[in-house]
Structure 1
Amino acid sequence: MTAAEPNATGSPGYSETMPCDAESVGRARRLVAGSLGAWGLGDLVDASTLVVSELVANAVKHARCLLFHVAVRRLTDHSVLVFVADRSRDVPRMTCSSDDSEDGRGLVLVDALSDRWGYERHRSGKTVWAELRLKAEDPEQ
């Protein structure tokens, strides 16, 4: 397991490899919140931490892995990319849950909170990502 580290090259970002267990949800939230705070993007903290919580919960529940990788990357002055990579090649699926179901709404929340999201398969598994942007100020205010 590695501590959160800034990217050495490319766009600014932080990443950490975490154990595939429920306790990692809080660690991932702290990683994302700390990164956004360092970049002065506090307005994205609530949505981004909820998004990373759902992505990590999905990895823990479905990937059957020992470790997964969480990262947050600053794309522009107003947008970030949050992603979780695991060893499973099973792709995420948005489902329609019944009103009394206790789970199955994670990707619906990710879809609602992010500007766009998706996944990429690769030889060693997959990466699920979400892009979040600061909303433009209302010109009439």
Structure 2
Amino acid sequence: MATITARPPARPAIPRLTPRPTGRPGYSMTLERTEESAAVARRATRTTMQCWGLPEETTDAAVAIVSELATNVILHARTGGMRLIYELPARDRVLIAVVDRDARRLPRMRTPDPGADQTGRGLALVDALSDRWGYDRLGSKPWGKRVWAELRADGEQ
């Protein structure tokens, strides 16, 4: 009689992070707009921050920010995938951006109802964890908008 051993579900692989060829350090990657992509984005963010030797506090904040921004794309963008961008604009700054193809749906911070479900808190968390955040319209083709957050890379929040 054969014994069947259950395997845990395979984690989606992290697609290749593309390094910026010149200028300040940076990486980018493109993901599909699926639920699995949020987990991939979190792992890619943690890997990038660790490769840059950033403190655990900065890494954890960056992972939470990317998780919220990627989830917003997954839930609210109407078409296409998403592009993650990581930059070190200065030795003590990290810039994280999530780009999607939906130029018409812009991020809007809401005041969540404490008695309501858990939605509507993402941008408030991004605001709390970052030094500043915002968005840039990029047109309609191929990408629509970039939502970005900047935080200190020295572990001080």
Give 1:73's match in structure 2, choosing from 87, 92, 105.
Answer: 87
How far residue 136 of structure 1 moved from its aligned partner, in angstroms, is: 7.5
Question: Are 2:13 and 1:4 equivalent residues in the alignment?
Answer: no
Q: Is the contact between residue 70 and residue 98 of structure 2 (CA under 8 Å) also seen in structure 1? A: yes
2:44 is paired with a residue whose SS is: helix
Counterpart position of 1:88: 102
1:39-54 correspondence runs (5 A): 39-43=52-56, 44-54=58-68
Give 2:148's match in structure 1, choosing from 104, 121, 129.
Answer: 129
How far residue 131 of structure 1 moved from its aligned partner, in angstroms, is: 0.1
Aligned AA for 2:48? S
Cα distance in structure 1, aligned partners of 2:95 and 2:128: 15
Q: Is the contact between residue 27 and residue 86 of structure 2 (CA under 8 Å) also seen in structure 1? A: yes
Counterpart position of 1:31: 44
Cα distance in structure 2, aligned partners of 1:55 and 1:135: 22
Larger Rg: 2
Cα distance in structure 1, aligned partners of 2:80 and 2:31: 9
How far residue 134 of structure 1 moved from its aligned partner, in angstroms, is: 3.5
TM (normalized to structure 2)?
0.81
How far residue 10 of structure 1 moved from its aligned partner, in angstroms, is: 2.1
Identity rate of aligned residues, in percent? 44
TM (normalized to structure 1)?
0.90
How far residue 81 of structure 1 moved from its aligned partner, in angstroms, is: 0.3
Query: Which one has a larger percent strand, Structure 1 or Structure 2?
Result: 1
Cα distance in structure 2, aligned partners of 1:135 and 1:109: 19
Question: Are 2:132 and 1:113 equivalent residues in the alignment?
Answer: no
Cα distance in structure 1, aligned partners of 2:124 and 2:81: 25
Cα distance in structure 1, aligned partners of 2:125 and 2:55: 20
Q: CA RMSD in A?
A: 1.5
Question: CA deviation digits over 1:98-124, x for unaligned, max 9?
Answer: 113221000000000000000000113
Aligned AA for 1:91? L
